[in-house]
Amino acid sequence: MPDELPVLPDIPCPFPTTFGAHPHPHADAAENDVLALLENIDAPAQLKQRLADIGLGPLTGQLYPGTTRQGLRLAMLYYAQFCLHEDWIIRQDPATLTHAYDRVLAVFDGEPTNPADSPLTRLTSHLARHLHAFRLPEHTVRFRTALSDYLGAHLWEADLQLHRRTPALAEYRHLRPVVLGVRPLHELYPLIHLQPVPTHLLGHPVVEALGAMMVNFHVLANDMHSLAKELRAEKHPLNTVLVLRAEKGLTLQQGVDATARAAAKELDAYQQLKAALPRLGLNHPALTAHLANMERLAADTVAWHLATPRYQATPHGRADA
């Protein structure tokens, strides 16, 4: 593994960013709500530091400056679940994950928790209750489907890591967009922003393709900025850059450059397809607002990565390039 980390190139983004411009006035209160809830589920002590490392209060507030306190709290609960799951899974035997995930989904579906449940299961129960409070069951169903896919993809990833297998790029392109967790977040957006979208529009193949392109962009941008973190990991690291390097015989720098080019192509393809929406009769105002919210997240994601302590440290204590 080369000692020097590559330079991260810019990814041209055509969408406006609001990150840092208007911090959410209720960010501290919403963060306190979530932290108090975590105290009641026996969350591991390190989770609080993990949430500080992603800027749960101040940085999430900058991602969602115009949401209600309820919407911001929902976003923070999802980020808390994501971090809790990421820490929890590294201590699990992959053979036990199917049962554990079945229990998580059963509690999401309404089964009561019990003292033997993991903090992840109990946090999922709280997340489900917050979702139901919005009284938009069609969006809850869509989130549940995305959550199930996200958990299932982690079985796949855990098997790769257990056997220290670097998959072919053709395989990894199917795994990585699901395991990253952006798709469930997108499914929460109509609730976070209080802008419900008719679900028949969200299920249209063109709209689904637009969402997939946005998820792919997040995968590629994240894998560039998380490369140092992945190289520090004790587990077998899986990352688009590393998969490209293994399959195509690239250097780390060449892998990063190829990843950046692929991210830019996803945004170009997204814009071209989005331009067809009026011709296809898909220029519904709620859908337009939903896509704008996803675009804003894409524009903000690079700034978020640069501002987040989680992605700053590198091997041997160097600062990121």
d(CA 8, CA 14): 19
Is residue 73 within 8 A of residue 34, CB to CB? The reply is yes
Mean pLDDT of 19-29: 88
pLDDT at 312 (0 to 100): 67
Mean pLDDT rounded to a whole number for the chain: 91
pLDDT tens per residue across span 39-75: 889 899 899 889 998 889 988 999 999 899 999 999 9
Q: What predicted TM-score, i.e. pTM, was given to this entire model?
A: 0.92
- Is it the case that residue 142 has pLDDT exceeding 80? yes
Burial label for 108, CB within 10 Å (0-12, 13-18, 19+), is: buried
**CA 50/CA 87 separation, integer angstroms:** 9
Given a cut of 50, whether residue 1 has pLDDT beyond it is no
| Cβ(112)–Cβ(120) below 8 Å | no
d(CA 240, CA 247): 11
Instruction: Say yes or no to pLDDT of 26 above 80.
Output: yes
Query: Worst-scoring range by mean pLDDT, 108-122, 138-152, 299-313?
Result: 299-313
Does 1 or 139 have the greater pLDDT score? Answer: 139
Does the pLDDT of residue 173 top 80, yes or no? yes
Query: Tens of pLDDT along 215-265?
Result: 999 999 999 998 988 887 757 888 999 999 999 999 999 999 999 999 999
Q: If you write DSSP's letter for every residue of 27-92 in order, what string do you get?
A: HHHHHHHHHHHHHTTT--HHHHHHHHHTTTTHHHHHH-TTS-HHHHHHHHHHHHHHHHHHHHHTTS
Please give the residue that has the higher pLDDT: either 20 or 299: 299
Instruction: Look at residue 91 in the predicted model and tell me its pLDDT.
Output: 85
For the cut 60, the answer to whether the pLDDT of residue 315 exceeds it is no
Q: How do residues 192-213 score in pLDDT, each as one tens digit? A: 999 999 999 999 999 999 999 9
Under 8 Å between Cβ of 122 and 179: no
Residue environment code for 159-186, b if the CB has 16+ CB neighbours within 10 A, otherwise e = ebbeeeebbeeeebeebbbbbbbbbbbb
